[in-house]
Amino acid sequence: MTKNQIAVLAQKYTQRIKALDLAISKLNHALINATDQFTLEIMRAEYSNKLDSLSIDKEYRVAFVGGGWNTTKATNDEDALKFAKAEWNSKTLKVSAVFLSESIPNNF
């Protein structure tokens, strides 16, 4: 994901977490089914985990012109490419692309 995509997702997750916090607080003040509150708390935890995962390093596969690969870690696509080029680009070796390790294309 790009930095912009991460920022958009972070904003959406934050809005959903705030809405769930409000709903949970209202349920705490009413005598409502505990199952509903539990479900909302699970949803909140899921969004919190997703929000946290946006800011952690992920493994990227680095592809080289002419073949070969290596890995680098970064939080987003732009940084992964920047780190890979800084580490491996030379007169004889050129980085051609980076892919999140979980989403490597078939023709890699």
Domain-by-domain residue ranges, the chain?
A: 3-53, 58-103
The pTM of the full predicted model, rounded to 2 decimals, is 0.75
CA atoms within 13 A on the CB side of 108: 17
pLDDT at 78: 96
CA torsion sign for 108, 63, 101, 10 is: negative
pLDDT tens-digit map of 40-67 = 999 999 999 999 999 999 999 999 999 9
106 or 102: which carries more pLDDT confidence?
Answer: 102
